[in-house]
Amino acid sequence: MPTSRRDFLKAAAGVPAVLSLGSVAPAFLQRAAAADPTPGADRVLVVVELSGGNDGLNTVVPYDNDEYGRNRNTLRMTKRDVIPIGSDLGLHPQMPEMKRLLDDGRLGIVQGVGYPNPHGGHPESMRVWQTGRLDAEFCQTGWLGRAVDVISNKDATDHIAPCRGAFVGVFPRPLTVNAAGTVVPSVRSIEDWKLRAKAAPVDVPQDASPLLQEVGRRTQSAQAHAATVDEVIRSGERREYPDTPLGANLRIMAQLIEANVGVRILNTDAGGGGDIGGYDNHAGQKDNHAALLRQLSQGVAAFVDDLNGRGLLDRVVLITTSEFGRTIQENGRRGTDHGSAAPMLLAGGRVRPGLIGEHPSMTETENNGPKHHTDFRRVYAALLDQWLGIDSQVVLGQKFEPIKVLA
Amino acid sequence: MMSRSRLIGAALLMAAVLTAHVSAADDLPPASQWLPAGALLAVEVSGTADVLDLALSDGMIDTVSAMPPLQQKKQDGGLDQFKTIVGYFEANLGTDWKTAARTLLGGGVTLALYPDKTVLLIVDSKDAALLEELREFTTTVAKGEAAKKGNADSIRSGEYRGATGWTFGDKEAHAVVGNRLIVANKSDALKRVVDLREDGGAALADQAEYKAAKAAAGPKADAFLMVNMGALKQVPNVQKGLDNVGNPVGSLLLAGVADSLRAANLLTLALDVDGDTISLAAVSDGKVDAAKSSVAFAKTDGGALPNLKVPGFLAGFSFCRDLHSFYAAKDDLFPERTGGLIFFENMMGIFFSGRDLADDVLSETEPEIRVLAARQKYDEEIGTPKTQIPAFAAVLRMKNPEKFSLVMEEAWQKAVGLVNFTRGQKAEPGLIIDRPTHGDTQFTVARFAAPKVEERTDADVRFNFNPALAMPDGYLILSSTEGLARDLIDAVKKEASETLAGIDEVHSLAEVDGTSVATILLANREQLVRNNMIEEGNSRDQAEMAIDSLVAIVSHLGRTKFEIRNESGATQARFVIELKLAAK
Amino acid sequence: MTPSSEALARAANDPAWAWARYEPGAERPWDARLAAHLLRRAGFGPNRSEIDQAAGDGPQKTIDRLLQPDGDPAEFEEMFAEYERAAEGSVESLRAWWLRRMIQTPYPLLEKLTLFWHGHFAVSQAEVGRAPMLQRHVQLLREQALGDFRSLLKAVMLDPATLVCLKAEKSRKATPPTALARTLLARFTVGEGNFSESDVTETARAFTGWFVNRNSREFYPREFDDGEKTVFGKKGNFTAEEVLDVIADQRATSQTIVRKLYRQFVSEVDEPGDALLDTLVDSFAKTGNVLGTIETVLRSNLFFSPAAYRCRVKSPVEYAVGLVRAFEGRVATDRLGRALADLGQGLYNPPTSAGWPDGLAWLNDATVVGRHNLAWQLLQQPGDNKYRLDAATYARQHGKQDAVAARELFLDLLLQSDAPDAAAVSAAGIEDAARLVACLPEYQPA
């Protein structure tokens, strides 16, 4: 499999019109090429946040469960409604694409995820999931932001400076990607990554100060990577993505992954961003939730199919997060309120497929929702340690026993 | 002194502006018979006299010269330059510019644009001699200019089938036939006009769209524009642009306008100038399948009600819409779920205690919906806020007032409670609910406690709001201020005492009182100037100029009216501006 | 050894030389390069006439004027303070006005230091949210930016915005604000490694009793822990103000501030040894005088030596405001504020209490492309109507009609003679030349 560094070399060599290699180039390129011997250094983690609090019980539905049936009046789904996936569980009927991914071994579902003494409010609980810390109030960086810092710190010693993480979407950047030491950009359009006008070739004299030489290298790298992204954009039609904001954002991510410019961490929000996420269905949940899950299922499937078609799926794991699941009991407004545990979805070529862990108990509850049995930070830890190859303890502040989520 | 090339430009422009009534032109067939068929777009100005009467009226000239940018130009001498050119022009043609304009344009102006980007313009002068003088004058100027630069002039002329054509360069060609000036952007196109004149053939006058547009505009129109939508839609960007129109609010408000344009083969715009009143009517022949379009929610049986009259009226919008079926169809119309929509539904769920928004709430309202804005008078107890926001209100009618008014009252008070709760969380002052009486109507209002005396000159923005709910005689009034609510109670009581009559077939009506809007803009001038500075990057002087110009333009708009009607599936829009020009 | 490390080594061996007043001489003549260097560091970058004037006036007179501008800036300050107060409710407008201040200010050093303290105390929109509170906070920084550090520290630490940002809105006796105390010690004063856990908890006790209610602070004596505290070995029934005196008395506090000022004004490249900074730390510890310390730095041999020259990376704000000032154009600063947030420097919103990461952290693939594209937007021809930097007109006004002359003009304006024959720019027409100069690696260091 090509490494990102080698692709960069190819890209740099392939665009003489845009980039003439200056006098600093040979040493720089040598070092860049040597800097990337680690297998898996081109792996990417994509985190899709379902802001608002996704109703896990109507995503992976325990249709046969008495508690479920008794507590849900208008929102109840029966065996006939759902797409059965075994263990007396079924997927929401608007998620046939997810079923296909499950059958193809490209989707894993971690059940019953949450954290101890869960918060009942959006900002508080979101902050816990976004920082990856229970003392989130005092934590100003996001778990992905810290992961970007760790990777970038290593880059600094290797004298390279790719952009390691990005938020994709038009909403304000969430805390998730806030980093103390690295600028994590918001990518609203893939065009943001392109040069709007022809760049001048970098030509820093050899006797220039080390600072200037380093700036020259970074300028050269940025120009080369921008040219690579431009090639990907111009390489023609991509597989169809659904015409939704999530579809557009996933498409941008696929383009960045294909360009292989060193981005390791990508984050987006499928709930519409802002203070109130679209998954927060307190009233008239049925149609709204169905539409959201349809968009999610179609978007993720398009993303997986696109990457798979290009032989890139083994480089990518996509996960969903959400600040909480919802109450077992439907409220008087044909909606549900803030609960606790919910499933996390994982998609990619190397995820452990199928159901992971038991469906949470419907009688043991917290915040009137199913009680969690798996700490979400165990999933984070697995992805940090085993997928991104960085020390989860550094990122999460303590050690968690990783869940087996990778194949 | 202005450069020669600009002088030529100005002269040509005048020549173009100045051509349209009939003198010796009586013996020439209408311009539309000399222009080839197949136009994408055609403009025909026949009533140049009416248009020029307004454009050249003392009121208009005084108004325009009083605009801040022109005042500025006057100060820095820019206006003198222009006057020099005009003087030069007048001296050479031996007539004043207004008369020249009336004469040269007096016979009418016709312009056509073709798919191959050919543009043809025909101007009919009332005086062939003056036209010839103008042509010679511009030629002389162009020659002089070239000589001054030491270049050979690029003026060429040639004969083609008995007509003489001239060109100043490869971007333009023109010919004069009698009192008619023909201008083309390519010399081939000019030849096509001559061919058509000599040989006959399909002319613009024969083009079906032209005929339909002329008929739709009617004989009274001073000018009309024909847009061949069928051909224009072949242009990919136009098609794409039309496809992209539409978001939930937009499609509810514009109800099928975009759909109609998508379906249209012809769009006609007819202009009528009558004194200081300008009317613009747009007619599209696009029939819309009501079942698949938001036009379905625009009801025209009964029609929109006239706007309510209140003191300080700024703007009013009156619609006739079936909100219930609109919202019930939201899944098909707007498949996206935004955080905003979910928040709205969650809140409505709380306010209306779990009632279904479409089936149990919106279905309780009649289709006549009115929204209006008015200037507000500030209570002395409150003082004047530093940013002045007009009062605004929505007025609906309820189907079952006895039952629904209680539901509404409860919902409204819950909303006030929620606002208070949220403001309280942010340590901001809240609203206090009161139930005052106006005439025989008891209504509900929520007010912020009066500010401290020392804050009254520069009160907080919140003092623009004291929301009120009133439900007299089956009406539902939701107002941002108590004052407007009281005025509206009077207005609807008056309306209820008369026969309620909608405007036939009109489903949307907007009226704006430019003069009142200008006073509001003026009241907020400082804030607008500051916003302009950071939003446009202007200096303080530039920002003041921009805002003052805006205020000046708006203040002259007088009362402006826009209405959309739907007649058996075809959409018609009408835009009327009553200009308020400088008083003599 | 590079020239900069050589110069630093000389300074380390001879601190007296390093901080002695720079006198132009054969070794280091006063020229446009050094004039522009001074104006970049003490402000937001010069325009042509400012460089010329400074080059003619010589260093001392120029520094005098930077420390205390001719004329009274009070009118300007009051006008903008009023603009900002009226821009209530929106951090975006506050940002826009601040950028406009930086572009137009008659007192650039004051704005530079206001931004410096904003980065130091790092109160952020993300944590505070309320625009009026943030406006008052930055105004407070501005009022005391060049004065006495101790008084600034006290004002900031009891400012409502700081208390909210550091989760100390309700500091009850039973729940002392340890996060605030830890940040105060680790970030604002003595620095990591120079305090104990008990210093944190004891300092926190001194801050009890302070609450933020309705956007202003209040002191409730019943919630104040008036018992004895021990902080850095000093015992007393300290109040917040008293404990800040104890902390400000620590030499480590002066070291932290002086080191940070060094990084801001002298160099991000090499870490200076303690010995080199001792003179500055001594006098700062004694007087707490910010302006005086800056004056010593700006007048010094070291400041005008290769150890400082182009030894910092321009922050996004310095980069963009510098361009706008150089070309004497006007830009819509609300849009510019958003663009700069994308490049990593959202004013009123530093990422964490540690402030913005600086130096090379400003430059990665995305932000370098972002700078290139911002330069293009600012300087494209015909210009965006929100961004009006018209390089071609600028060249004409300076009598440069052809591309060769215009290129020289731009290189001289933006880089003085630091990239005399930049091949990158050599083929460009007037329209492109200014943008390409702004994209040169040479233009990124301050």
Q: What is the ipTM of this complex?
A: 0.94
Q: Taking 80 as the threshold, does the pLDDT of residue B338 lie above it?
A: no
Domain range for C411 is 316-443
| Cβ(B266)–Cβ(B209) below 8 Å | yes
Query: What phi-psi label fits residue B555: left (phi over 0), alpha (psi between -120 and 50 degrees) or beta?
Result: alpha
Same-domain check for residues B378 and B509: yes
Same-domain check for residues C225 and C289: no
Under 8 Å CB-to-CB from A152, ≥6 apart: which residues? A161, A164, A179, A181, A182, C364
Q: Taking 60 as the threshold, does the pLDDT of residue B22 lie above it?
A: no
CA count, 13 A, side-chain hemisphere, B317: 11
| Cβ(B104)–Cβ(B19) below 8 Å | yes
CA gap A126, B21 in Å, rounded: 73
What phi and psi, each to the nearest 5 degrees, are found at residue A350?
-120, 20
In a domain, B173, yes or no: yes
| C356 part of contact set with chain B, CB < 8 Å | no
Instruction: Name which residue leads in pLDDT, C329 or A45.
Output: A45
The 3-state secondary structure of A281-315, one letter per residue: CCCCHHHHHHHHHHHHHHHHHHHHHHHHHCCCHHH
Closest by CA to B571, choosing from B256, B270, B227, is B256
Tokens read off for C29:
């003549």
Overall size of chain A counted in residues: 407
Q: What is the pLDDT of residues B64-92, one digit of tens each?
A: 888 888 887 777 777 787 788 888 888 88
In a domain, A188, yes or no: yes
Instruction: Name which residue leads in pLDDT, C142 or C388.
Output: C142
Yes or no, beta carbons of B339 and A284 under 8 Å apart? no
CA gap C282, B362 in Å, rounded: 75
| C216 part of contact set with chain B, CB < 8 Å | no
In a domain, A405, yes or no: no
In a domain, C376, yes or no: yes
Residues of A in Cβ contact (< 8 Å) with B345: 281, 283-284, 288
Helix segments in B36-156, DSSP class H = 48-55, 58-65, 68-76, 78-93, 97-105, 128-149
CA gap C361, C346 in Å, rounded: 15
Tokens read off for C363:
């430059």
Same-domain check for residues C286 and C344: no
Same-domain check for residues B216 and B87: no
Least confident of B273-287, B565-579, C326-340, C414-428: C414-428
In a domain, C424, yes or no: yes
Q: What is the pLDDT of residues A145-197, one digit of tens each?
A: 999 999 999 888 777 889 999 999 998 899 999 999 999 999 999 999 999 99
- Best C80, C94, C335 member to test B by mutation, with max B CBs in 10 Å, is C335
**Mean pLDDT across A7-31:** 37
Structure confidence at residue B166 (pLDDT): 87
Tokens read off for B503:
């405007």
| A211 part of contact set with chain C, CB < 8 Å | yes
**Mean pLDDT across A365-394:** 97
Confidence of residue B333 (pLDDT cuts 50, 70, 90): low
* Per-window interface: A 134-163 vs C, CB < 8 A: 137-138, 140-141, 152, 156, 161-163
Residues of A in Cβ contact (< 8 Å) with C414: none
Q: Taking 70 as the threshold, does the pLDDT of residue A21 lie above it?
A: no
Same-domain check for residues C366 and C411: yes
* Per-window interface: A 248-267 vs C, CB < 8 A: 261-262
Among chain A, residues having any CB pair with chain B shorter than 8 Å are 51-52, 244-245, 271-284, 287-288, 291-292, 295, 331-335
The per-residue pLDDT of chain A, averaged, comes to 89
Q: Report the residue from B331, B335, B346 with minimal CB separation from A283.
A: B346
Q: Report the residue from C354, C368, C424 with minimal CB separation from A222.
A: C368
Structure confidence at residue A211 (pLDDT): 94
| Cβ(C151)–Cβ(C244) below 8 Å | no
CA gap B485, B466 in Å, rounded: 10
Residues of C in Cβ contact (< 8 Å) with A141: 351-352
How crowded is residue A81: how many other Cβ atoms within 10 Å of its Cβ? 13
In a domain, B357, yes or no: no
Same-domain check for residues B166 and B221: no
In a domain, C86, yes or no: no
Same-domain check for residues C155 and C236: yes
Vertex B400 angle, CA B398 and B406, to 5°: 85
Same-domain check for residues B238 and B147: no
DSSP A129-149: HHHT-TTGGG--S-HHHHHHH
Same-domain check for residues B238 and B192: no
Structure confidence at residue A156 (pLDDT): 82
**Mean pLDDT across B395-419:** 95
Q: What is the pLDDT of residues A309-319, one digit of tens each?
A: 999 999 999 99
Structure confidence at residue B354 (pLDDT): 86
In a domain, A367, yes or no: yes
Same-domain check for residues B13 and B156: yes
Instruction: Name which residue leads in pLDDT, B291 or C260.
Output: C260
Q: Taking 50 as the threshold, does the pLDDT of residue A32 lie above it?
A: no
With CA atoms as reference, the chain C residue closest to A149 would be C361
C-alpha torsion B469→B470→B476→B478, nearest 10: -30
Residue B143 to residues B148, B154, C297: CA-CA distances in angstroms?
9, 8, 68
Structure confidence at residue B18 (pLDDT): 42
Q: What CATH number should be reported for the domain holding residue A223?
A: 3.40.720
DSSP B323-336: HHHHHHTHHHH---
Q: What is the pLDDT of residues A216-275, one digit of tens each?
A: 999 999 999 999 999 999 987 666 899 889 999 999 999 999 999 999 999 999 987 666
In a domain, B238, yes or no: yes
Vertex C233 angle, CA C232 and C235, to 5°: 110
Specify the number of domains making up chain B: 3
Q: What is the pLDDT of residues C358-413, one digit of tens each?
A: 999 999 999 999 999 999 999 986 666 788 888 888 999 999 888 888 888 999 99
Distance of CA B370 to the CA centre of its chain: 20
Query: How would you class B269 by CB atoms within 10 Å of its CB: exposed for 0-12, middle for 13-18, buried for 19 or more?
Result: buried
Yes or no, beta carbons of B350 and A282 under 8 Å apart? yes
| Cβ(A299)–Cβ(A44) below 8 Å | no
In a domain, C242, yes or no: yes
Query: What phi-psi label fits residue B150: left (phi over 0), alpha (psi between -120 and 50 degrees) or beta?
Result: left
Q: Taking 70 as the threshold, does the pLDDT of residue A287 lie above it?
A: yes
In a domain, A357, yes or no: yes
Q: Taking 80 as the threshold, does the pLDDT of residue A14 lie above it?
A: no
Choose one of B166, B201, B236: the last residue of a domain.
Answer: B201
Tokens read off for B133:
């003088």
Structure confidence at residue B19 (pLDDT): 42
Chain A neighbours (≥3 Cβ pairs under 8 A) are B, C
Q: Taking 50 as the threshold, does the pLDDT of residue A33 lie above it?
A: no
CA gap B327, C391 in Å, rounded: 53
Angle between helices B514-523 and B540-555 (to 10 degrees): 160
Tokens read off for B4:
């020669």
Q: What is the pLDDT of residues A333-358, one digit of tens each?
A: 899 999 999 999 999 999 999 999 99
In a domain, C127, yes or no: no
DSSP B133-173: HHHHHHHHHHHHHHHHHTPPP--EEEEETTEEEEEEETTEE
How crowded is residue B23: how many other Cβ atoms within 10 Å of its Cβ? 16
Going along C303-345, which residue ranges are E strands? Answer: 330-331
Structure confidence at residue A240 (pLDDT): 87
Q: Taking 70 as the threshold, does the pLDDT of residue A7 lie above it?
A: no
Structure confidence at residue B156 (pLDDT): 84
Residues of B in Cβ contact (< 8 Å) with C387: 537
Yes or no, beta carbons of A335 and B356 under 8 Å apart? no
Which residue's entry shows tokens 């990665």?
A: C364
Same-domain check for residues C255 and C356: no
| Cβ(B269)–Cβ(B464) below 8 Å | no
Least confident of A293-297, B9-13, B111-115, B290-294: B9-13
Tokens read off for A131:
């920082």
Specify the number of domains making up chain A: 1
**Mean pLDDT across B370-381:** 90
Same-domain check for residues B194 and B236: no
Q: Taking 50 as the threshold, does the pLDDT of residue B429 lie above it?
A: yes
The 3-state secondary structure of C101-148, one letter per residue: HHHHCCCHHHHHHHHHHHHHHCCCHHHHCCHHHHHHHHHHHHHHCCCE
Q: What is the pLDDT of residues B163-209, one digit of tens each?
A: 888 888 778 899 988 889 999 998 889 999 999 988 888 999 999 99
Under 8 Å CB-to-CB from B3, ≥6 apart: which residues? none
Domain range for A210 is 4-396
CA gap A196, B572 in Å, rounded: 43
CA gap B70, B87 in Å, rounded: 18
Confidence of residue C420 (pLDDT cuts 50, 70, 90): low
Same-domain check for residues B96 and B232: no
Choose one of B201, B236, B266: the last residue of a domain.
Answer: B201
Same-domain check for residues C327 and C437: yes
Specify the number of domains making up chain C: 3
Structure confidence at residue A15 (pLDDT): 33
Same-domain check for residues C363 and C424: yes
Structure confidence at residue B544 (pLDDT): 95
CA gap B546, C332 in Å, rounded: 15
In a domain, B165, yes or no: yes
Structure confidence at residue B246 (pLDDT): 55
Vertex B407 angle, CA B489 and B483, to 5°: 25
Same-domain check for residues B147 and B278: no
In whole angstroms, how large is the CA radius of gyration of chain C? 23
Residue B346 C-alpha, separation from nearest chain A C-alpha, in angstroms:
5
CA gap A281, B98 in Å, rounded: 68
B442, β-bridge pairs: B437
In a domain, A282, yes or no: yes
The per-residue pLDDT of chain B, averaged, comes to 84
Same-domain check for residues B135 and B194: yes
Instruction: Name which residue leads in pLDDT, B501 or C332.
Output: C332
In a domain, A336, yes or no: yes
Structure confidence at residue C401 (pLDDT): 84
CA gap C82, C96 in Å, rounded: 14
CA gap B40, B38 in Å, rounded: 7
Structure confidence at residue B247 (pLDDT): 61
Same-domain check for residues C273 and C231: no
Angle between helices C149-157 and C131-144 (to 10 degrees): 170
In a domain, C258, yes or no: yes
Structure confidence at residue B421 (pLDDT): 93
Q: Buried b / exposed e across B186-216, counting CB within 10 Å, b at 16+?
A: bbebbbbbbebbeeeeebbbebebbebbbeb
CA gap C413, C50 in Å, rounded: 11
Structure confidence at residue B171 (pLDDT): 81
Same-domain check for residues C428 and C320: yes
Q: What is the pLDDT of residues A39-66, one digit of tens each?
A: 678 999 999 999 999 999 999 999 999 9
* Per-window interface: C 353-372 vs A, CB < 8 A: 353-354, 357, 360-370, 372
Same-domain check for residues B184 and B252: no
Greatest C-alpha distance within chain A: 78
**Mean pLDDT across B277-300:** 73
Yes or no, beta carbons of C333 and B538 under 8 Å apart? no
Tokens read off for C14:
């001879």
Same-domain check for residues B84 and B181: yes
In a domain, B524, yes or no: no
In a domain, C31, yes or no: yes
Residue pairs between chains A and B whose CB atoms are closer than 8 Å: 73
| A199 part of contact set with chain C, CB < 8 Å | yes
Vertex C288 angle, CA C69 and C258, to 5°: 85
B445, β-bridge pairs: B434, B468
Structure confidence at residue C24 (pLDDT): 96
Choose one of B201, B217, B241: the last residue of a domain.
Answer: B201
Tokens read off for B144:
């002089």
Q: How far apart are the first and last CA of chain C?
A: 21
In a domain, B249, yes or no: yes
Domain range for B423 is 298-322+367-513+563-578
Confidence of residue B291 (pLDDT cuts 50, 70, 90): low
- The DSSP output letter for C191 is -
Least confident of B305-309, B385-389, C15-19, C217-221: B385-389
In a domain, B161, yes or no: yes
| Cβ(B396)–Cβ(B470) below 8 Å | no
Tokens read off for C52:
């010329």
Instruction: Name which residue leads in pLDDT, B56 or A98.
Output: A98
* Per-window interface: A 101-140 vs C, CB < 8 A: 137-138, 140
